[in-house]
Amino acid sequence: MKPTLKTNFTSFKKVALLSGPFFHHLDHLSPLAHFLNCPLLVDDATTYQVAKKYYPFVDLFYSPINLKQLSESYDMLILSTKYAKEELQAAYQAMNIHTMRYCYCPHGLSDKGYYDPTMIPETNQDFILLYGERQKEQFKENENSLLIGNFRLAYYKKFKQFYDNLIDAELFLPPLKKTILYAPTWHDQETGTSFFANWKNLIAMLPAEMNLIIKIHPLLEKYYPADVYRALSFDKTQESLRVLFEMPLIYPLLNRVDVYLGDYSSIGYDFLYFDKPLYFLGERQVPLHKSGVRVDSLEQFFDKLKEPQFNLSKKREESYKASFSPFYCEKWD
């Protein structure tokens, strides 16, 4: 019998942990905490407020993190950053506490590491929860990697009416227009971002018959605040324009849009589920780009919007199934 998350984890007292202003990790840890029936502890005030608004079905706590107190109530930490185990384990060992175990769930599935192997997440974990076979290949040396499948999609489906209503109220876009989502990645050492060169021109070139949502990666704000706040100042300056920042929801947002424009963000893999047109900017080609159309400029992007991409439906289906396994915890309540 294939091991499931439930059979491997029932012996542990679990808590999901999110430290710092990383609200974009909420869309990974919150659904996971819900299905694992464990609390989510955050120590950042803004992250807590965002979590309260967007994840009301999660047992959420806001408190400074006291590692010793945590070890008295829990023996497993659910984490979404690859180096957290190394840092936390060192702290616990300094306190002579050796009972804590660490479960790592990558915050998204992307092509990180395709050109630079050092970008592949740290494999030295006690447990790793994986979306599907593609990630399983990356973590092949870890015998404790477990396929959980697309739990984030399952969470959205479980509370679909709530999230559809929430996202419609949040966006409040003209309903009869097609909507483009531009969701670039941040500027890392491997691939970079298309954001700086394109966001302003994208707004200027937006056809009158279309809506545009620009979803800014949180790490762009951390390293390039002036650029990000300039872009945010354009939010709602047009009826058909939204610029999103502290809004971590992914699947409810993707369900609302008609076209995806990105570069190397993991959101592109999430969008495969909907079998809608994908377009990619960026100098380097990665495997995800084969499920859509690469464009060299915004002019080319808007020109190719006329193409329905029906010929890529089979490729998107195959890529999605290779990336996301069935959700093994679907019967959990």
Q: Which of 2-11, 134-143, 250-259 has the lowest mean pLDDT?
A: 2-11
Q: Where are the domains of the chain?
A: 5-148, 162-313
Q: What is the pLDDT of residue 67?
A: 96
Which CATH homologous superfamily contains domain 5-148?
A: NAD(P)-binding Rossmann-like Domain (3.40.50.720)
- Higher-pLDDT residue of 53, 137: 53
- Higher-pLDDT residue of 149, 135: 149
Closest CA to 44 of 61, 59, 57, 30: 61
pLDDT in tens, 37-91: 999 999 999 999 999 999 999 999 999 999 999 999 999 999 999 889 999 999 9
Mean pLDDT, range 219-232, rounded to an integer: 92
- Range of 69-73, 102-106, 139-143 with top mean pLDDT: 69-73
The model carries a pTM of: 0.92
pLDDT in tens, 274-319: 999 999 999 899 999 999 999 999 999 999 998 889 999 999 999 9
pLDDT averaged over every residue in the chain? 90
Question: Could you give the CA distance from residue 63 to residue 18 in angstroms, rounded to a whole number?
Answer: 11
Question: Could you give the CA distance from residue 216 to residue 199 in angstroms, rounded to a whole number?
Answer: 10
pLDDT higher than 50, residue 4:
no
Q: Which of 133-147, 212-226, 264-278 has the lowest mean pLDDT?
A: 133-147
The two domains 5-148 and 162-313 share their CATH topology (first three levels equal): yes
Closest CA to 131 of 106, 150, 154, 107: 150
* Residues of the chain above pLDDT 70, percent: 90
CATH code of 162-313, in short, is 3.40.50.12580
pLDDT in tens, 230-264: 999 999 999 999 999 999 999 999 999 999 999 99
At residue 223 the predicted structure's pLDDT band, cuts being 50, 70 and 90, is confident
pLDDT higher than 70, residue 160:
yes
Q: What is the pLDDT of residue 210?
A: 97
The tokens of 16 are what? Answer: 């999901």
